[in-house]
Chains A and B, each alone.
Chain A
Amino acid sequence: MRRGDRLASFGFVAPFLAIYLFILIYPLLAGIGLSMKRVDLFGGGSFVALDNYARLAADPVFHAAILQTLLLAAMIVPILTVVSLMLALALNRPTRDAAVFRGIFFSSSVLSVTIVTLIWRFVLAPDAGLLGEVAQGLGTSPLPFLSDPTLALWALAITTIWWSIGLPMMLFLAGLQQIPGDIYEAAALDRASRWTIFWRITLPSLRRTVVLVVMLQTAAQLQLFGQSQLLTAGGPNGATRTMVLFMFETAFWRWELGYAAAAAEILFMLIVALTLAQYWFTMRTSEAGNGR
């Protein structure tokens, strides 16, 4: 091919590559550099090598943020996975009412985090919320969802589960559609019970989807930010401050950009490590399964 031809061909990918390099790859590398600087509001900054990381290692506020982020992911991901799988199993039908239910369970996913937290604040608030009214109707006192440290974590978890149930449900529905029908016919001939069919056929066939859902959701929930910032402002007493909220406060309230960038790198490594661990675990167990 002539040289001009190749250049013209490259022209098709060049615009994207330019933006990709400039707005994603350059900042990724610059972030590593930034995390090794002490930067204040007036820019510039001096190189401090790994000082920011050493400071993070000794910062109890950051430790609490890591712990709370992991705790939230551990609360949200299993419930979200199990509930969305149950919904998908129940709604995997060609009927009209199943379609209406699917629409209802997916509807919250199109809302922005701002609207979701606004809605849930006035569901959870003990004095002005829906749950408060329900509790009053039942003659009990409402749970202090936004002021008790443990309950506030659950408030974020419940809000997040309500918000994000639609996507995993759709992924499971798509996975169910991929299972060939003749396996079920064979099982029906063997008079297998519903329970046996679920554990022996449906669940093993959905393996890849389960892994996909868990990996996507873990990565998403480790980056939980808007709910923590808007619903509880990280409180009470920092009990719901997540790693990204820590980053945000450090960068844009205290203007310690270098320190915040170091926290971002730790979060990045945590996400990569957990994703790889889940992937490795799946590969290993599937090999063991095949070798039986």
Chain B
Amino acid sequence: MAADRTTPVFRPGEGRMRPATLIALLLAAAVMLAPLIWTVLLSLKSNQALVGNSGAALEFPYTLENYWAILSGDQVFRWLLNSLIVSIGTTVGVLALCSLAGYGFARLEFPFRRTLFVFVLLGLAIPEQAVILPQHQLFAALHLHNSYPGLILPGLAGPFGVFFMTQYFRAIPRDLDEAAMLDGASRLRIFWSVLLPLTLPAQATLGVFTFLASWNSYWWPLISATRSDMYTLTVGLAAAQMNYAQTSGLGFLMAQAVFASVPIFIVYVLFQKHIVQSMAGTATR
């Protein structure tokens, strides 16, 4: 990025850290990382070695046998696939619906436009808890439980994306689409080939957030997907966690946790920039 006037001013605490700050940060980072490292170490031990002695996690030998067990046909693969289908489906759906609606609310004229926009914004105040039980009844009546549409649809109804995209479309200079309008281009054409390419950064931010939220959602898949072949990773791991005493060992359970976190960490590392930027946007609005 070019160093221009908008370069952030770093203060308080400009420049180098004081030793006391650094030591405090190192301690805090150790607290953050210790549970993660502990989990990885446990996952690298054979289940027998950990019975009654989790301290063995700190000693050699380590083994990959738990990961081999996952790779040689475990339900975790099915759950991973379900999570991918649901998260990608939700993300694509949210981007499509919110881009269309954002363009409509920001640029087009139709009756009750303002009223409808306020009506949509009010939805931001509705917590999941207030709707989840009637949603469950509604989806039962429509026979949508234990299906991909059943897992995806509730994720498409949230108004945040519409608000976000409307703001973004409003910030694009009007001359761009007005020129195209004078050339006689249709709305859909202007939307698709003039404005949409300009919103790619917003699409990336909203997309990453929707994907993360969908991947990690727990409450809805827990009550909607009741058949183990329709579990998402979060629900499957919850079930594994609850039956772990009877079935598989501690090492295997932790290997499942590590395996399930890998995709989301990859997404996090790839899209870190967009995550941080959108945070900044939320805070300054």
Contacts and interface: CB of A to CB of B under 8 A. Distances in A.
A48 interface: no
B21 interface: yes
A150 interface: no
Interface string A82-119: 00000101111111011001011111101111110111
B97 interface: yes
Contact of B38 (A10, A28, A123): A123
Interface string B118-158: 00100101111111111111100000000000000110111
A212 interface: yes
B131 A28 contact: yes
Interface string B180-218: 000000010001000000000000000000001001101
A29 to B, nearest CB: 8
Contacts of A171: 279, 282-283
A248 B132 CA distance: 10
B108 interface: yes
Contacts of A136: 55
B44 interface: no
B59 to A, nearest CB: 11
A272 interface: yes
B129 A133 contact: no
Nearest to A90: B21
Nearest to A8: B187
Interface in B231-271: 233-235, 237-238, 241-242, 250, 253-254, 257, 260-261, 264-265, 267-268
A13 B105 contact: yes
Given A122-B42, A136-B55, A105 B13 contact: no
Contacts of A223: 127-129
A280 interface: no
Contact of A20 (B159, B219, B279): B159
B100 A30 contact: no
Interface string A210-239: 001000000100010110001000000000
A241 interface: no
Contacts of B15: 93
A180 B9 CA distance: 7
Contacts of B69: none
B261 A111 contact: yes
A252 interface: yes
Given A6-B109, A111-B264, A261-B133, A122 B32 contact: no
A147 interface: no
B276 interface: yes
Nearest to B162: A16
A177 B8 contact: yes
Contact of B120 (A20, A181, A225): A20
A76 interface: no
Given A27-B135, A93-B13, A264-B133, A112 B216 contact: yes
Interface string B29-41: 1011111101100
Interface string B1-33: 000000011111111110001001100110111
Contacts of A267: 127, 129-130
B28 A87 contact: yes
Contact of A212 (B8, B154, B283): B283
B137 A257 contact: yes
Given A15-B97, A110-B264, A174 B238 contact: no
Interface in A1-46: 1, 6-13, 15-17, 19-20, 22-28, 30-31, 34
B101 A16 contact: yes
Contacts of A194: 12
B54 A129 contact: yes
Given A12-B108, A19-B156, A30-B138, A118 B29 contact: no
A145 interface: no
Nearest to B94: A16
Contacts of A174: 279-284
A128 B54 contact: yes
B216 A111 contact: yes
Given A8-B187, A133-B58, A110 B212 contact: yes
B134 A30 contact: yes
Given A12-B187, A89-B12, A112-B264, 15 more contacts: A7-B110, A12-B101, A17-B101, A107-B32, A113-B234, A120-B35, A133-B58, A170-B276, A173-B279, A175-B283, A176-B12, A184-B11, A209-B283, A244-B129, A247-B129
